[in-house]
Amino acid sequence: MVRFEVWAPKASSLEVVVDGRRKPMRDANRPGWWQADVPTAVHGSDYAFAIDGNDPLPDPRSRWQPTGPDGPSRVVDHAAYAWGDGAWTGRPLPGAVVYELHIGTFTTEGTFAAAVERLDHLVDLGVTHVEVMPVSAFPGRHGWGYDGVCPWAVHEPYGGPDGLKRFVDACHTHGLGVILDVVHNHLGPSGNHLPAFGPYFTDRYRTPWGSAVNLDGPGSDEVRAYLVGSALMWLRDYHVDGLRLDAVHALADNRAVPFLEELSEAVDKLAAATGRPLFLIAESDLNDPRVVTPRESGGMGVQAQWSDDFHHALHALLTGERQGYYGDFGSMGTLAKTLTRVWLHDGTWSSFRERTHGRPVPVSRMPAYRFLGYLQTHDQVGNRATGDRISATLPPALLAAGAALVLTAPFTPMLFMGEEWGASTPWQYFTDHTDPELAEAVRNGRRAEFASHGWDAAQIPDPQSAQTVRDSCLDWKEPARAPHAALLAWYRRLIALRREWDNLTDPDLTRVQVSFEETAGWLMVHRGAFRTAVNLAEQPATLPMGTGAAEIVAAWDDRAEIRRGLVGTTLRLPATSVAVVRIGTR
């Protein structure tokens, strides 16, 4: 027997349609809730809800949408899956190295099963966690996942519920934690049936995606419970270790207890019950340390967040780009500030926003692992006009410099799939909207957006084209070929150093120092006994290393050398190169 329940506070009558047979639902003795027991329903039974005699609609809490968001829901018995990760005790975030991937383009097959076949590569690379872009069901086959409309269901073309379980199971068998990207701030524009059931959205606020999710208006208790319940489901029923929360700055919420705080408390309770470390990572544009401040200290209690200022500072310095939000970045001084103070904009003027922005991070009591640092992400690649990676612009030496600054920084490092070998494939914006009008609107909108920045419309990839998806898939032949193999070996070496030496995972921001000479073109990050030295100039540089012993433990150019003289020890770096040096003796 299966008990079907649904929240529909405005409905006069409700029926559940199970395998084509209708059964009236009754009051569930909870305000707005309806229920019905169906003895014949089992794992795999199809069902839908008919409100006031109208056409049946999928369950808002559907765990399985085998024919897409507009089709019937299907019953899932999570206990039917035989997990093989009984020995898995979890991997906490401190000391982690995160790898962001998109299931649909990580392999040409674009499935969970195909991704499992590449896990050995990630183990050899040395990462500890995979961060999987959203897998909630959305219309069509291809998409980034941020247009999901079924926050409780797994996208069927990827492999459905059991496909995700097998993927997580395999990750845990390989010693990899799994972080899942989830979207609470909006739903996609097509296939969203929630408004028919209740006040899931409100027009009191507007977002870039339309009406805001109702987090603080009438009925918002149930809306919050819906989102919290979905988050806990991924962690509990799919054994996921953490969640990445998309664009939390777009959560319109004026209640005394913010949604993020409520979610954080619920996740902590589940972690205590399961005995596994579970965590949340926010994407936030607020530059507000209260997001990652513990609840007992007056914060939201989220364990970590992405740090775009560090990315902008590093990207602008390496590429010379200054357009848009890169306008305030690009100097060695701005990179030095983000390495030691987390954000450039911590109450300073932002020319892009035309106002002051941010709040200082209390570095003396805020561990650095709470901030993710990166050279590339799906956003920073895919939102470019042609989805070009930084490897399409920079030579391998500068890619190596960027990797060293990320992987020896005090933050939790994150890589974007293929970055580790300087993938030549782009990662473009693609959709598969089944509504022809919506598809054309997205296509024309993207062309118009970049035409306003001087791009020829013919240069903008068609997001609805299958070729755009194919072009965005990783080429797994590249890692074994030059010049990709050398960069991959460099990433492996840097991650191994991070794992071997606790100086490089020390979360104390007050112990991080940066020295640089802007005009000479060199910068050096001090992490305990380690120095990451980068020479961006077109001529060799000589950097001071103090008076003691020094040893090069990693160098992109083998001409880098330690010199000892009367005035002390120096590092001689060739033009456009990077080296990591250990000071003192073992």
Whether residue 55 is annotated as binding a ligand: the answer is: no
Residue 325, C-beta contacts closer than 8 angstroms, at least 6 positions apart: 312, 352
> Which member of 59, 147, 181, 246 is catalytic?
246
Cis peptide before 294 (omega within 30 of 0): no
Whether residue 328 is annotated as binding a ligand: the answer is: no
Whether residue 193 is annotated as binding a ligand: the answer is: no
Whether residue 237 is annotated as binding a ligand: the answer is: no
CB 183 within 8 A of CB 151: yes
CB 134 within 8 A of CB 182: yes
262 a catalytic residue: no
Whether residue 285 is annotated as binding a ligand: the answer is: no
Tokens describing residue 258: 């913010």
What single string gives the DSSP state of each residue in 220-273? HHHHHHHHHHHHHHHHHHS---EEEETTGGG----SSS-HHHHHHHHHHHHHHH
283 a catalytic residue: yes
H helix or E strand, kind and range, residue 402: helix 396-407
Closest to 375 (Cα-Cα) out of 419, 429, 333 = 419
Let me know if 362 is exposed, middle or buried by CB neighbors in 10 A (0-12, 13-18, 19+): exposed
Whether residue 215 is annotated as binding a ligand: the answer is: no
Whether residue 308 is annotated as binding a ligand: the answer is: yes
Whether residue 241 is annotated as binding a ligand: the answer is: no
CB 522 within 8 A of CB 516: yes
> Which member of 46, 147, 156, 283 is catalytic?
283
Closest to 183 (Cα-Cα) out of 219, 234, 127, 218 = 234
CA 1 to the chain's CA centroid:
39
Q: What b/e sequence results for 557-586 when a residue is b if at least 16 CB atoms lie within 10 Å of its CB, and e otherwise?
A: beebeeeeeeeebbbebbebbbbbbbbeee
Whether residue 247 is annotated as binding a ligand: the answer is: yes
Whether residue 310 is annotated as binding a ligand: the answer is: yes
H helix or E strand, kind and range, residue 168: helix 160-173
Whether residue 484 is annotated as binding a ligand: the answer is: no
Whether residue 244 is annotated as binding a ligand: the answer is: yes
Whether residue 249 is annotated as binding a ligand: the answer is: yes
CA 437 to the chain's CA centroid:
30
Q: Which amino acids are annotated catalytic?
A: 246, 283
- Annotated binding-site positions for substrate: 244-249, 308-312, 378-383
- Annotated binding-site positions: 244-249, 308-312, 378-383
